[in-house]
Amino acid sequence: MLKQLITSNKGTFFKLNKKTAVNNLLFIEMNNKPLFRSYATIKLSNLNDRSSLQQQSSTNNNNSDNNNNSNQQQEKDKSKSKPFTSVFSQIIIFGIPAIITFCLGIWQTKRLLWKLNQLKLREETLKTDPIPYDSKEIIKEELDNIQQAKSEYEYRLISFNGYFDYDKEIIIGLRKSPLTKRMDLPTSAGEMGYYIVTPFVVKETGEVILVNRGWVPQSIYEDKLSYSSSEFKKKKTNVSDIQTINGIIRPGEYVNNMDTNDGKSNKYIAIDLLKITKNLNLNYIPLLVDQICYVKDFKDQSIADTMLVATNSQPEKYPMVAIPNDYMKFYIMPESHVAYMVTWYSLCLWIVGTFVYLKRRKKLM
């Protein structure tokens, strides 16, 4: 019999036998608190503690995994909030558009400077008196399918004597009426028609010059019954009908290997000097000029007054001969190029500014 005396704070003694100590998980309480525990109780408590530690460790690991997943998700969300993080995407979204808009601005700047130079050149040449035609002085030595005159004679006024070979005239079109450009009308407005290009044989040398005599409405040219002789009159070649013509030297038109004529009719869709030369059986490419009503002080007159002078200078209303004001206007005037230029440069600056702003706000890598 295992006996033990236990004394409480109050001085009370108790006896415990072996059976009670081992088999019964009894303990003495002092102030309602456990004082002694049996070996089995301690062993069970240790097992419970280990299980709790394992559960706590497992819980901590799960919490750590959850935290890691949460951090990864947050990083993904941050990367989604910054869609322009890669250098490649920055080049695609900012670099290429900036370069394109800047190049377009440069192109419009060059177009503006070219047209301003052309207007200045044409104004100077149109104020001068026409010079006599001299092929040795004016025509290039090398072959040119677009412009036969030397660069210093471009848009110069010349005069020449001879006769028109009406039997070989050709028509170019369809084209808008010159009034569309003269009156600053929209390009969609205006009647369609043809330009009448007639070979002109120079009296002194027998050379052929292609003369654009002017514009005729399609309705009048194609329907003989719709007009009177005072409006338009198709003529026949008369070698003795010697005339003095004032014209302005101009280039042909770029055709880019386009078929401008079917070879069966006299109708062309563009002034293709090479094709016209072949069909006329000439061994050289002729000079191209626009017949013009010469008005020296045209800058001091209104367009209406200049047009009236041109109308009174010819017996028929059509072809509508060119006037100096026609060469001082483009379908796209320099003011439009200024607007285009400002637009492209502004877009370029906006793209660059947006890129710099996002960089500073650390929206970009």
pLDDT for 340:
96
Q: Are strands 267-268 and 243-249 parallel, antiparallel or unpaired?
A: unpaired
Which amino acid makes up residue 46?
Answer: N
Confidence at residue 268, expressed as pLDDT on a 0 to 100 scale: 92
Mean pLDDT by 10 residues, the chain (365 residues): 42 43 43 47 55 62 58 55 66 90 96 92 87 91 84 90 94 89 81 93 92 91 67 86 93 82 83 89 91 82 80 82 87 90 96 88 64
CA dihedral defined by 146, 151, 157, 159, rounded to 10 degrees?
-70
pLDDT of the residue at 15: 43
**Amino acid 30: pLDDT:** 43
User: Is the dihedral angle over the CA atoms 280, 285, 286, 288 positive or is it negative?
Assistant: positive
The per-residue pLDDT for range 105-145, each reduced to its tens digit, is 999 999 999 999 989 888 888 888 899 999 889 998 887 88
Q: What is the pLDDT of residue 215?
A: 94
Q: Which two tokens stand for residue 227?
A: 């007009």
Using the structure block, give the residue that is written with the tokens 């005239």.
169
